[in-house]
A and B are shown apart, each in its own frame.
Chain A
């Protein structure tokens, strides 16, 4: 059993194939792009011991469907076939409770994505603007933030104001849009600088959704041009918007600084209210 004979000893059959696989994997990891990888055999299924922070590799059992495919039941078998391993930390719990997307969103049909996004907008709107049991715990409520709702509400408010204006329509729209967008960013920075704990995009999303009452107010004011009606409607919707924004903003900061965080929000909504009343 000298060393010089080690090369000529015939290997165990499974060892030879193992060595082939090792060589392929070494080549695969050395090469730069994933597109040049050529697996020698189908890769083994993801092991439960891989500590990845996001979802494990998704086995795509079918080639990606064309965008026009409307069968939604192909999502169901692929979700059942690729369950997240229980040892992966938060991601599986979140996916199981339905807060995040289902594990196999990579191969779902386009219509499913659209429906999911639309239903998320509606549910966020309900959570923020209407009374519901989650208001006591604001951090949980807008967990699934999105910016589509706020985008739509800001544009709608700008359009309504611009339509109501008889002169300088473009300036009104640009001012309204810039005021609301920059205002939301600045208000969020205000909370962060006061030492509050709030997530940037979650707060932007919240402030955008709280514009919904003012949208309704602006629409009513556009349709009815009476000053008294305008003042009443704007006051009511202003109070509604502030009530919607209050729990989230106040819970994010130190109780002694609550007023400092809430006052600018109220100020912004008051200025938008004045804009609605003053436009004629």
Chain B
């Protein structure tokens, strides 16, 4: 166990990592190289936005689950109020999550949002409102995922701490009881 720690572990879910990066990279690449592919703005818009939407779906439903064990969604309850729900794997499975997977997940999420932000600044400077629309849509999708998963991760940490402290309290009281039973 100690000998294998310094060795670099490989990605545990290479296919999922690949898809996680694929749609983001192809949306960005298509946007950058758009003039090579198509003359019409409509095609650029539709394909970029569709790729960004697919990426949003993949991250939210597939790679979030598999790479970091988190999931978030919104529900509306009987009273008509909207509740944000966060789901995470239990502590043991969370400990088993591959570090590389998790780093890839979070870093690509942030870099994607930063890249779209930079493109947004470019199109604002050049006063290209059409392209600003594309960038706005892709940027908002990226931000939505970042916010959702960050909240989910915080919620997971709070749950683990609450669980641990509650378990400590109950174990402590049972230890006290067994200690007092000796005397």
Residues of A within 8 A of B (CB): 12, 14-15, 18-19, 21-22, 25-26, 28-29, 34-39, 42-44, 46-47, 50, 52-55, 57-60, 64, 66-68, 90-91, 93-94, 99-101, 105-107, 110, 113, 117, 139, 143-145, 148, 151, 155, 158-159, 162, 169-170, 173-174, 177-178, 197, 199, 201-202
Contacts and interface: CB of A to CB of B under 8 A. Distances in A.
Contact of A58 (B81, B90, B95, B164): B90
Interface of B: 13, 15-16, 19, 40-42, 45-46, 49-50, 53, 57, 61-62, 65-66, 69, 71, 73-78, 80-83, 85-95, 97, 99, 102, 129-130, 133, 155-157, 159-168, 171-172, 174-175, 178-179, 182
B163 to A, nearest CB: 7
Given A25-B164, A68-B15, 13 more contacts: A14-B178, A28-B164, A50-B162, A57-B163, A60-B89, A67-B15, A91-B85, A100-B85, A105-B87, A106-B87, A148-B57, A155-B50, A159-B46
Contacts of A59: 90
Nearest to A82: B90
Contacts of A34: 91, 94-95, 156-157, 160
Given A64-B13, A170-B41, A35 B66 contact: no
B98 to A, nearest CB: 9
6 contacts: A28-B91, A34-B91, A37-B91, A54-B86, A55-B85, A106-B65
Contacts of B46: 155, 159
